[in-house]
Amino acid sequence: MDPIVMTALIMIVLYIAVGQFYFRIKLGIKPRGFVLSGRNKLFEFIDYAMVFLAFGLLIGLNVYDQEFNMFHALPLYILFMIWEMIKGFEQRREDKQAKTYYHEWLAVAFIFLFILIVVIDKVTANSLSP
């Protein structure tokens, strides 16, 4: 199995362990849903714009890149990281006491870690090839 895929699976298990078990059960912090009524219109616009950008990037990467790999999808990962950061700041600004932004910032940390692993894998693969 590819080391990147194995690392991603381990990270998903860790994310679920921390996000669902520690935050939700131990600390009692429940995540918010994607669509909420009464949200700031600017943040709703940013959410929908990010969804369209993500679909556009995904379609563009698959159509124009015949040798698609994890490194080529870095713009998509970065887009998701920025999106989660914005959602975390919105949640922190709206209701600081509920601490629902912990879930978003945990996602940012794991996405950043995954980006770092993909870049390190690409750099080491290039340095090892003759």
Domain range annotation of the chain: 3-128
Looking at residue 25, its pLDDT comes to 85
Looking at residue 47, its pLDDT comes to 77
Looking at residue 35, its pLDDT comes to 57
Q: What is the pLDDT along the chain (130 residues), one digit of tens a residue?
A: 677 778 888 888 898 888 888 888 888 887 776 555 567 778 778 877 888 887 777 777 666 656 666 677 788 888 888 888 988 888 888 888 888 889 889 989 998 998 888 888 888 877 766 6
| Residues 25-52 pLDDT 10s | 888 887 776 555 567 778 778 877 888 8
* Contact by Cβ (8 Å): 74, 61: no
Q: Which residues contact 56 (CB under 8 A, 6 or more apart)?
A: none
Q: Could you tell me where the DSSP H helices lie in 1-130?
A: 3-16, 41-64, 74-94, 101-128
Looking at residue 62, its pLDDT comes to 65
Looking at residue 109, its pLDDT comes to 92
Looking at residue 33, its pLDDT comes to 66
Q: How far apart are CA 52 and CA 29, in angstroms?
A: 29
pTM of the model: 0.75
Q: Which two tokens stand for residue 12?
A: 């998903």
